[in-house]
């Protein structure tokens, strides 16, 4: 594998013993990887507000939970609204050392939770919203969401999705919130430093985490990180930060501003069964989509 990160500290030690072994995630699931990073940054001072999503199940059954953090399970559409309430209550009570984190999937964010998300962003609520994006409704058995990419098979798009993926991070940038970032479970240290940065910013912070799902994307569970990294290395998924009105390309994505350095998208697509029916025409469309995204990045980072 290329691009293996070798920086050792502080992530592993901070992450130890907070996401607890014996959870109910599928083998190779990216979600606990991201949760480990979150708990490395916020520890037991995180209050996770979690709508219906894979994590509702992963954390296990009453009276236990597979994480040393506080968790509020909430209805599908309400993560940002409940988090707003928690945050305002803490503020009213003068509690400053706890961090309110909405932790939602792509369905709970890009689809049913969009109104509440937009409302909380517009009010600039003092919360961190993390959208972990496995690009479909995985918990209910792989149905299409607005975050499913073009061409991907799901149980409700048996011949592949026709539309492009909804770009939620851009929508949040349009809200003028203090901090927006994209990240990936393939790059835990990038996510770690983004969460550290977000931790020290007041107001609404949004982090979009790309999270490849082995059963949903139809690849073997050992390839979760490989697929996540390929998304970045092909330029399909771009890591950046938007802060104080400025977009900065993040380290792992920086080389790929140069199209010549990008791996062919086919490498990413061929690894996943969900793209089995993708035609050459569609691959060309996907390539065009990648170019357009990079064009936007270049424009924004000038």
Partner 1 sequence: MVKVVKPLGDDKLPLTKPMVGVAGKTGLWRNMKPVVNVDKCTRCYQCEIYCPVNTIIVEPETGAVINYDYCKGCGLCADVCPSGAIVMVPELGE
Partner 2 sequence: MGLKLALTGNHAIAYAVKLADPDVIAAYPITPQTPIVEKLAEMIEQGELRAKMIRVESEHSALAACFGAAVAGARTFTATSSQGLLYMHEFVHWVSRARIPVVMAIVSRTINTPWNIWPDHSDFVDQRDAGWVMSYAMDSQEAFDLTLQAFKISEDPRVYLPVMIGIEGFIIGHTAMPVEIPDEKQVKEWLGERRQPYVIDGSEPLGLGGLTFPEDTEDMFYHIQEAMGNVKKVIKEVDEEYGKLFGRRYGGLISCYNCTDAKYIAVSMGAWSGDLIEAVNKLRDEGYPVGVLRVRYYRPFPIEDVWEIVQNVKGIVVFDRSISFGAWGQIYTDLAAGLSLYTDKLPRMANIVAGIAGVNVTSEDFYGMLKSFIDKSESGLLDRNYFTWIKIRR
Triad 132, 134, 139: Cα angle to 5°: 100
Q: How many CB atoms lie within 10 A of CB 31?
A: 25
DSSP state of 10: S
Rounded to whole angstroms, how far apart are CA atoms 111 and 77? 8
Question: In the range 93-122, which residues lie near partner 2 by CB under 8 A?
Answer: 93, 95, 97-99, 115-116, 118-119, 122
From the list partner 2, partner 1, none, partner contacted by residue 249 (C-beta under 5 to 8 A by kind):
none
Scored b (16 or more CB within 10 A) or e, 212-229 reads bbbbbbbbeeebbbebbb
Triad 37, 183, 233: Cα angle to 5°: 120
Which of 36/205 has CB closer to partner 1? 36
Confirm or reject binding of residue 25 to partner 1 (CB under 8 A).
yes
Smallest gap from Cβ 86 to partner 2, in A, equals: 4
Smallest gap from Cβ 42 to partner 2, in A, equals: 9
Which residue stretch of 65-73, 100-108, 111-119, 168-176 sits at the interface with partner 1 (rule: CB under 8 A)? 65-73
Which of 48/209 has CB closer to partner 2? 48
Smallest gap from Cβ 90 to partner 1, in A, equals: 11
Which residue stretch of 3-11, 140-148, 166-174, 244-252 sits at the interface with partner 1 (rule: CB under 8 A)? 3-11
The dihedral built from the CA positions of residue 57, 62, 68 and 70, taken in this order, carries a sign that is positive
Three-state DSSP state, 227: helix
Structure tokens at 15: 């992450």
Confirm or reject binding of residue 175 to partner 2 (CB under 8 A).
no
The single residue listed with the structure tokens 């290395």 is 233
Rounded to whole angstroms, how far apart are CA atoms 67 and 81? 23
Inter-axis angle of helices 79-93 and 114-122, nearest 10: 30
Which of 84/148 has CB closer to partner 2? 84
Residues contributing to the site for partner 2 (CB under 8 A): 44-47, 49, 56-57, 59-63, 65, 67-75, 77-78, 80-93, 95, 97-99, 115-116, 118-119, 122-123, 125
Residues contributing to the site for partner 1 (CB under 8 A): 1, 4-6, 8, 11-12, 15-25, 27-33, 36, 59-68, 71, 93, 188, 214, 220-226
């Amino acid at each position: 594998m290329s691009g293996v990160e070798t920086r050792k500290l502080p992530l592993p030690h901070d992450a130890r013993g907070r996401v607890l072994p014996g959870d109910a995630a599928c083998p190779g699931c990216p979600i606990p990887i991201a949760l480990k990073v979150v708990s490395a940054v916020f520890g037991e001072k995180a209050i996770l507000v979690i709508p219906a999503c894979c994590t509702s199940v992963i954390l296990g059954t009453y009276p236990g939970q597979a994480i040393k953090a506080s968790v509020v399970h909430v209805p599908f559409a309400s993560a940002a609204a409940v988090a707003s309430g928690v945050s305002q209550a803490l503020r009213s009570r003068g509690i400053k050392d706890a961090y309110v984190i909405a932790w939602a999937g792509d369905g709970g964010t890009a689809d049913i939770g969009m109104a509440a998300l937009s409302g909380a962003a517009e009010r600039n609520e003092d919360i961190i919203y993390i959208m972990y994006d496995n690009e479909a409704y995985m918990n209910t058995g792989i149905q299409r969401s607005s975050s499913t990419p073009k061409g991907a098979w799901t149980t409700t798009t048996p011949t592949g999705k026709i539309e492009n993926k909804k770009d939620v991070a851009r929508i949040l940038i349009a809200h003028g919130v203090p901090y927006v970032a994209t990240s990936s479970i393939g790059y835990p240290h990038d996510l770690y430093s983004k969460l550290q940065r977000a931790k020290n910013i007041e107001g609404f912070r949004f982090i979009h985490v790309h999270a490849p799902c082995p059963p949903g994307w139809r690849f073997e569970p050992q390839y979760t990180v490989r697929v996540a990294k390929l998304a970045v290395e092909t330029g399909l998924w771009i890591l950046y930060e938007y802060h104080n009105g400025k977009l900065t390309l993040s380290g792992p994505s920086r080389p790929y501003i140069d199209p010549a350095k990008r791996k062919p998208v086919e490498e990413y697509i061929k690894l996943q069964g969900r793209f089995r029916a993708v035609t050459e025409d569609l691959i060309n469309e996907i390539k065009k989509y990648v170019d357009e995204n990079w064009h936007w990045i270049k424009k924004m980072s000038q």
